[in-house]
Structure 1
Amino acid sequence: MTTISAPESHLTWPERIDELASAHPELIALTTTALGGETLTWGELALRGRLVAGRLADFGIRPGDVVCVELPGRAAHVVCALGAWRLGATVLPLRPDLPARERRRLLALADPGVVVVDGQPAADREVAADELVNGVDARPPAAFPPVVSSPAWLIASGGSTGAPKLIASSTSTVVPAGARAVGPALFADTGDARHPVHLVCSPLYHTQGFAMLHHTLVDGYRNVLVSRFDAERVLDLIESERVAMAAFVPTMLIRLLRSPSIRHRDLSSLGRVIQGAGACPEWAIREWIDLVGPERFIMGYGSSEGVCSAQIRGDEWLLHPGSVGRPVGTEVLVVGEDGARLPAGEVGELYFRPVQGTRDVRYVGQAAPRTRPGGYVSIGDLGWLDEDGYLYIADRRTDMVVTGGANVYVSEVEAALLRHPDVEDAVVIGLRDAEWGRRVHAIVQPRPEASRDGLADALRDHCRTHLAAYKVPRTFELVDDLGRADSGKINRRALADLRDASGEASAGAASAAVSTGSMPDGLSDSAAG
């Protein structure tokens, strides 16, 4: 990891928090639903970040080191990140309940100077969050010269091969030009007693949750951090906190739509509802556009690698349904299996290149990303461009199922399954098949009140009304719990490998293979960002 001194004309993120604290020391900056509810003012947030920086310095943390924050969604997570950035360190937010083997492999890759844990330290270089954040210290907070962390963070990912890796963010801790205008002057003119509210529902080990929380803090938003997603609780918070902005992964949006109370809730405070971190079914997008209005619903596309960014507002999406928008500052190359460039409308592997300058994609623990001459980089997504330059995402390259020589994009099949009123969640994978090479297999989590009798046949008939015949799952499997991570991710490769190895849900199964338990541990994409 590298660090640079902060240019005189720029602020670092910790300096920006200091500036907001100076202007609004008593206003609330952060609230959480963890530990019965936590609250920090801007003054407290800045002070605790400075104190943590001093304690991390005592542990030997220096510019360029990695600080691993292995905590649930609580205030200490934010404070420890700010303290690390004040020293010029890079933060690795890590899921606190990782399987031991995966945790060991990721920590070996990161080689952190300190691992901040939620409980008691159990190894060298571990420190308890409560000791770091709440420890008694009679010394005044230390003063550190401004230094930029680059990258600001690493994100852990299971990767398309199942081998863990770390993705270095393309973001540094320099406050973007113009961000300071969002601060004290804006709020002084509103007459409001608090800053606009951003609701954080994604876990902080996921790019969406971690990045948006810290970017909005720098922009002067008060952040409300949800420790665990629950649809009714989230709707309560939107109403009681007058939430102005919230970002959701597709599974969250679908669960909110299925709340029996959502049509009776006051969602008028929401200026922006952002969908990201995966493909969202078109029917769900249309329902949200109807619910909050097309100007307030925004779909985003990006990656932890930071090689491409695109956004599209609901009113524009209605003119280009299915699109994630025009890429911003990025050229897109669509490449076929033979390596040739494909014309508009044809699906291929997507390669991205910044319009200006270069943007390195840095992985720790995995070979370099796929590239093309001219500086183009692939992150493994399949998609196409239309004649107007709008981008459409079909699937992950590694998730696509080739059955009988035809390509099936699992996100399309999953979207069809999720339209059925008895389906709570669904994942589609490809399994080895003597006749078809791979067959389309659906793993379905029924809604609690749904009857399982005849459900597989009903789902097959339902899919036939929405999909071409070759895309309809040939086998179905019902489970009590898919084991999807809080981030919405799930490891399809692991699900397929488990079934291929055990011979479950064989090709001759005419009806569902029914499981009465939850999915085995470790099948969610637990590290993924």
Structure 2
Amino acid sequence: MATAHPMTPVDDLIDELGRPKAGAPLGALLSAHAVIKGDATALVLGDASLSFATLDRMSNRLARMLEARGVKAGARVIISMPNRPEFIAAMYAAWKLGAVPCPVSYRLVAGEFAGMVALIEPACIVADAATQPGYADRLDVDAADWAAFDESPLPPAVSMPGKIMASGGSTGQPKLIIDPVPSVWGPDKASVFRPAGIVTLNAGPLYHTMPYNYCILPLAEGSKTVCMTHFEPREWLRLVDRHRPHSVNLVPTMMSRIAKLPVEVTALADLSSIEVLFHAAAPCPPDVKRWWIDRLGGERVLEVYGGTERIGATLIYGHEWLERPGSVGRAVSGDEIIILNEDGQQLGPGQVGEIHFRRRALGPGTRYAYIGSETRIRGDLDSFGDMGWVDEDGYLYIADRRSDMVIVGGMNVYPAEIEAAIELHPLVQCCAVIGLPDEDMGSRLHAIVELPAGHEVPVDGLAYLAAELERLAAYKRPRSIEFTHEPVRDDAGKVRRTQLRDLRLGPSA
């Protein structure tokens, strides 16, 4: 009988249809597919094309590199680098040791990255030249002596928790989401929209949840995963034509950039292989959504509203959305949407309040936890903090995604962090950051900066605040700045961002 490891028969991990068995460790599943599929392509990423056997050997070597650095079961491992095969190998390497992988954006500036390191307290940081230097426990995948480490499979191991994902916090401070489910196959990892043995195409950065679901997990199902190093619309079309993916994941900014390519380019694109287009992370412009529905068909375009915490989710197909434009769908099976006012009273259809979920299927020990933030749990209810309402048929509409948060190209940006950086300037009295509409990115960051009375308004605001803005990752830096001598905060010391936005766009914007 073939084995993924001398102690683990493949039949114990994968069923007769090639699907993972419940309870199979994720690291061992990659080794099992390496036995079954061998030289079949597992991963295409940039110029690299790796078979299941090659990817498994890379992961085994990397696991032993971590082990040599003292990484043991339960230890946390930061993985921070651009999209490249070693990122995915490092996720599986951690699981093979029973360690906890913690993907973190390599785009963070030094202070932000240090904040994440302080919260995670990793045993090791797996990185490359793009990641912040200066950490003694940093394993540089480009400088490592790969040939010095054994490539054979490791004994089965399970990580508990299965992973820790980084997210923004409503205060602008680093926040981490602990996934309490161990690194074994189960209902939390399977999806009817992503069956085993297919081809997936991922366009997003691997440290986000949707790429995790549509690039990293499919490998445990024996699927071929195609991953972009970075998103470029023409290249995305080329990869679809070349690899014929079944399932793809995009954010609305990506969808918009593809749809706005010249007609002579998009008219020739063959998108017929795509059975499922998942999009999430931000509202999709109606004209862009209709373009994709026209191209793929409403039954193939799925919008999801949810989060890494898995407190609840909604789903809507394209044909449903055409009947209810603006809706993000109804609660998935097992979930219930509850809208509450500020006093915690349940509201009826059409009334705007905070969106809460009741996840009936949630069992003991399966609720997430935060590091660096407090949850919004109320008894058996939980919330992402968004405002919205439901119609008579239970379809959810988002009124405001976290009133302070701005979504830029699918990335969550919290004004408090940006305001704090700008207010370090000695002549800045106060600052408020809001999101203004942007055709490409969905929203652009606009800073309103209060200067002392009588102080001359700078001609170039970005240059004036250059030193302060350097403290922020590039995607968090405002694209426009206005200066004022009027108070930005009200008498209660509050920043009324909705009011500030309405004054610049009008209440109907």
TM-score range, shorter chain: 0.7 to 0.9
- From the superposition, tell whether residues 27 and 446 of structure 1 become closer, same or farther in structure 2 (CA, over 3 Å): closer
Deviations 1:481-501 (A, max 9, x none): xxx7xxx8x8x8xx56x5234
Is residue 172–residue 414 contact of structure 2 (8 Å, CA) maintained in 1? no
- From the superposition, tell whether residues 441 and 166 of structure 1 become closer, same or farther in structure 2 (CA, over 3 Å): closer
The aligned counterpart of 1:254 is 256
- From the superposition, tell whether residues 128 and 441 of structure 1 become closer, same or farther in structure 2 (CA, over 3 Å): closer
Name the aligned partner's letter for residue 139 of structure 2. V
Name the aligned partner's letter for residue 161 of structure 1. T
Q: How far apart, in 2, do the equivalents of 1:335 and 1:524 lie?
A: 36
The aligned counterpart of 1:204 is 206
- From the superposition, tell whether residues 180 and 375 of structure 1 become closer, same or farther in structure 2 (CA, over 3 Å): closer
SS in 2 for 1:199: strand
The aligned counterpart of 2:322 is 318
The aligned counterpart of 1:172 is 182
The aligned counterpart of 1:288 is 292
Is residue 199–residue 224 contact of structure 1 (8 Å, CA) maintained in 2? yes
Deviations 1:391-442 (A, max 9, x none): 2222223338xxxxxxxxx88xx9xxx9xxxxxx9x9999x9xxxxx99966
Is residue 85–residue 91 contact of structure 1 (8 Å, CA) maintained in 2? yes
Shift of 1:302: 1.3
- From the superposition, tell whether residues 212 and 58 of structure 1 become closer, same or farther in structure 2 (CA, over 3 Å): same
Runs of 4+ in structure 1 off by over 3 angstroms are 6-9, 177-182, 427-430, 438-447, 500-504, 512-521, 523-527
- From the superposition, tell whether residues 85 and 290 of structure 1 become closer, same or farther in structure 2 (CA, over 3 Å): same
The aligned counterpart of 2:389 is 384
Is residue 108–residue 473 contact of structure 2 (8 Å, CA) maintained in 1? no
TM-score (norm 2): 0.75
Pairs within 5 Å for 1:30-45? 30-33=43-46, 37-45=47-55
SS in 1 for 2:77: strand
The aligned counterpart of 1:96 is 106
Give the gaps of 5 or more residues in structure 2: 1-11, 14-20, 420-430, 478-509
Shift of 1:42: 0.6
**Match among 327, 334, 337 for residue 339 of structure 2:** 334
The aligned counterpart of 2:6 is none
The aligned counterpart of 2:427 is none
TM-score (norm 1): 0.72
The aligned counterpart of 1:129 is 141
Pairs within 5 Å for 1:213-228? 213-228=215-230
Is residue 28–residue 42 contact of structure 1 (8 Å, CA) maintained in 2? yes
Deviations 1:289-320 (A, max 9, x none): 01111111111111011111222221232233
Deviations 1:17-67 (A, max 9, x none): 12211111011100111xxx1111011112221222122111111111111
Q: How many residues align?
A: 430
> Please, what is the CA RMSD of the aligned residues?
3.9
Name the aligned partner's letter for residue 142 of structure 2. D
1:343 matched to 2:348? The reply is: yes
The aligned counterpart of 2:377 is 371
Is residue 165–residue 364 contact of structure 1 (8 Å, CA) maintained in 2? yes
Q: How far apart, in 2, do the equivalents of 1:428 and 1:159 lie?
A: 7
- From the superposition, tell whether residues 501 and 141 of structure 1 become closer, same or farther in structure 2 (CA, over 3 Å): farther
Give the gaps of 5 or more residues in structure 1: 1-5, 188-194, 401-409, 419-424, 433-437, 448-483
Q: How far apart, in 1, do the equivalents of 2:81 and 2:415 lie?
A: 32
The aligned counterpart of 1:477 is none
Shift of 1:514: 9.2
Q: How far apart, in 2, do the equivalents of 1:166 and 1:257 lie?
A: 34
Name the aligned partner's letter for residue 152 of structure 1. G
The aligned counterpart of 1:158 is 168
Is residue 51–residue 142 contact of structure 1 (8 Å, CA) maintained in 2? no
Deviations 1:62-119 (A, max 9, x none): 1111111111100000001100011111111111131101111110000000001203
Is residue 189–residue 213 contact of structure 2 (8 Å, CA) maintained in 1? no
Q: How far apart, in 2, do the equivalents of 1:179 and 1:122 lie?
A: 35
The aligned counterpart of 2:400 is 395
Name the aligned partner's letter for residue 198 of structure 1. T
Shift of 1:201: 0.5
Moved more, 298-307 or 146-155: 146-155
Identity over aligned pairs, percent: 32
Pairs within 5 Å for 1:124-523? 124-132=136-144, 135-137=146-148, 139=150, 141=152, 143-144=154-155, 146-176=156-186, 196-260=198-262, 261-328=265-332, 329-356=334-361, 357-358=363-364, 359-366=366-373, 368-372=374-378, 374-399=379-404, 443=436, 495=445, 498-501=447-450, 520-521=469-470, 522=472
Q: How far apart, in 1, do the equivalents of 2:293 and 2:190 lie?
A: 31
Q: How far apart, in 2, do the equivalents of 1:442 and 1:363 lie?
A: 26
**Match among 107, 112, 117 for residue 122 of structure 2:** 112
1:10 matched to 2:17? The reply is: no
Q: How far apart, in 1, do the equivalents of 2:388 and 2:191 lie?
A: 37
- From the superposition, tell whether residues 147 and 353 of structure 1 become closer, same or farther in structure 2 (CA, over 3 Å): farther
Is residue 175–residue 370 contact of structure 2 (8 Å, CA) maintained in 1? yes
SS in 2 for 1:289: helix
Is residue 151–residue 171 contact of structure 1 (8 Å, CA) maintained in 2? yes
- From the superposition, tell whether residues 139 and 92 of structure 1 become closer, same or farther in structure 2 (CA, over 3 Å): closer
Moved more, 278-287 or 291-300: 278-287
SS in 1 for 2:171: coil
